[in-house]
């Protein structure tokens, strides 16, 4: 299984809007091989969002980015982001909720 851990910095004050965009179609991802898609906001930085994901495969994750819902969310979110991202890709060993 494939894990993705990413952060993004939003323009000041736009964090909650972006989080809502990310969550808009989260539940629908299950049908495309997503096991977990969790959005959290940093406790130490008011403009940073963290997303942690578990997918059946990297291919499933990458394909999901082409879904209309994902493309719409990305297009709507981009103007609200500064362009500062971090990303970690992992191979999931296991756990509760994996």
Binding residues vs a copy of itself (CB under 8 A): 3, 5, 7, 16, 19-20, 22-23, 26-27, 29-30, 34-44, 50-52, 54, 88-98
Shortest distance, position 59 Cβ to a copy of itself, whole Å:
14
List the end-to-end C-alpha distance of the chain, in Å, as a whole number: 8
- Cα 16 from Cα 95, distance rounded (Å): 29
Q: Yes or no: say if 84 and 12 are a contact pair by the CB < 8 Å rule.
A: no
Nearer to a copy of itself, 19 or 70 (CB): 19
* Min dist. Cβ of residue 84 to a copy of itself (A): 15
């Amino acid at each position: 299984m494939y894990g993705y851990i990413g952060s993004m910095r939003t323009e000041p004050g736009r964090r909650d809007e972006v989080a809502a965009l990310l969550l808009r179609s989260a539940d629908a991802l299950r049908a495309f091989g997503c096991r977990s898609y969790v959005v959290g906001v940093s406790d130490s930085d008011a403009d940073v969002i963290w997303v942690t994901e578990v997918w059946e495969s990297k291919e499933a994750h990458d394909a999901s980015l082409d879904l209309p819902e994902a493309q719409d969310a990305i297009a709507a979110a981009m103007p609200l982001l500064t362009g500062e991202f971090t990303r970690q890709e992992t191979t999931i060993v296991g756990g509760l909720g994996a």
